[in-house]
Amino acid sequence: MTDFDFAKFRLQFPALTHGQCYLDSAATALKPKSVIDATLEFYSQEGATVHRSQHRAAQSLTEKYEQTRVRVARWINAALPENIVWTRGTTESINLVAQSYLAPRLQPGDEIIVSQAEHHANLIPWLMLAERYKATVVTLPLDEKFLPDLNRLPALLNRRTRLLALGQMSNVTGGMPDLSRAIELAHANGTLVLVDGAQGVVHCPADVQALDIDFYVFSAHKLYGPTGIGVLYGKTALLDDMPAWHGGGKMLTYASMQGFTPQTVPHRFEAGTPNIAGVLGFDAALGWLESIDTAAGERYAQHLATQAEQQLAALPGFRSFRWQTASILAFDIAGVHHNDIVTLTAEQGIALRAGQHCAQPLMEAMGVSGTLRASFAPYNTADDVDRLVKSIKYALELLAD
């Protein structure tokens, strides 16, 4: 596995210059220098905001800001830049769809199908809506590999099903359901599909047109971009038919004391001064990603996860929840609590995560109270794998005393 120049890739990340063993990229990716520079440049050089002022800096900034929308559209093969709505992240994007698309259409007794593998971000907004409108969240159960069981989907779809909410990739197992099949089944029933791409977009951005996805949501920060900026992709006809959500400046074309006329999409959903630094930083992240062989980087990260899994498998009680060759490795050690292990590995300087990973229903399906999770990115090294394995062994020795 030498086809990826990890040393060169790693050098782009200032956060790694102190020898940190960072194995928490599924929570958030580290930022390359180009992203940090773009953000810094905005705050230090560009005294302006977007879509408001007439002066030259404001105009050129608005152009750059809108060009990023074009770039994001290209990244997921959206038909138009207007299909891209800026949000604070995946969570806000899902809440926007829940409140602006689904809420006005939901009748008592309607159903929303949600897989049991979802992150809370793709469950709680639907539960909140169901409670408010007397609708029902229907569970799409998992198969033996903890993947949403699409064989059981046809029996769950009926004339009351308004939406299917499905993750592209689990943030725990790394499992990826067959999106194309799920969407085909849902559409055959006249049901829309929201795909949570928070993890999936990092490893394999969805082609929203080829897959015929209705809503696709993700955050910039897992894709090497800044925090606080994310995307809602929606089909034109769906977004056009959604009422404004947050009220405020620049989401309207006319306002009086009696009412207002909303803007066209996407600006209708972007009230207030936006996260300009976030958008520019995200632009830098995408530009940088376009310049590297991400497929080779992905293979390399998966290879590291395989090495870690194989070495940890020698430990008594080790159990892996990893799906196929995913770069995310969730695991536990029988008889030892994940919190005890992670406290000791943290003392060793290992950035590992333990707990429920905002996926408690999935933990229930897996029959565990939580897991450890090492998530690998192309900036990790074989040395990180060694350090992880050594620190787990060390923790287990201490805990056995």
358 included as an active-site residue: yes
Token output for 158: 């009926």
Report 206-235 residues binding ligand PMP (CB under 6 A).
219
N-terminal to C-terminal alpha carbon distance within the chain: 39
The DSSP symbol for 101 reads: I
Minimum gap (Å) between residue 169 Cβ and ligand PMP: 7
> Is residue 167 a contact residue for ligand PMP (CB under 6 A)?
yes
Report 189-208 residues binding ligand PMP (CB under 6 A).
196, 198-199
SS3 153: helix
CB-wise, 4 or 269, nearer to ligand PMP? 269
Stretch that binds ligand PMP, among 49-57, 85-93, 147-155, 251-259 (CB under 6 A): 85-93
Pair type for strands 84-87 and 230-234: antiparallel
CB-wise, 39 or 219, nearer to ligand PMP? 219
Listed in sequence order, the residues at least 6 apart from 28 whose beta carbon sits closer than 8 Å to its beta carbon are 221, 222, 227
What is the CB-side half-sphere exposure of residue 380 using CA atoms within 13 A? Answer: 33
Cα pseudo-dihedral 338, 224, 15, 370, rounded to 10? 0
> Is residue 306 a contact residue for ligand PMP (CB under 6 A)?
no
Stretch that binds ligand PMP, among 119-127, 149-157, 205-213, 278-286 (CB under 6 A): 119-127
How far apart (Å, rounded) are the C-alpha atoms in residues 379 and 29? 10
Report 351-390 residues binding ligand PMP (CB under 6 A).
358
SS3 348: coil
> Is residue 266 a contact residue for ligand PMP (CB under 6 A)?
no
| # chain residues binding ligand PMP, by CB under 6 A | 13
CB-wise, 197 or 378, nearer to ligand PMP? 197
Token output for 270: 């972007």
SS3 302: helix
Q: Which of 57, 183, 187, 196 is nearest to 119 (CA)?
A: 196
Minimum gap (Å) between residue 357 Cβ and ligand PMP: 7
Minimum gap (Å) between residue 104 Cβ and ligand PMP: 23
Minimum gap (Å) between residue 382 Cβ and ligand PMP: 26
Q: Which candidate in 70, 296, 315, 358 is catalytic?
A: 358
CB-wise, 32 or 89, nearer to ligand PMP? 89
Q: Which of 1, 16, 3 is nearest to 380 (CA)?
A: 16
Minimum gap (Å) between residue 22 Cβ and ligand PMP: 16
Buried b (16+ CB within 10 A) or exposed e, 27-40: bebbbbebbbebbe
Minimum gap (Å) between residue 341 Cβ and ligand PMP: 21
Binding site for ligand PMP (CB under 6 A): 89-91, 119, 121-122, 167, 171, 196, 198-199, 219, 358
Cite the active site residues. 358
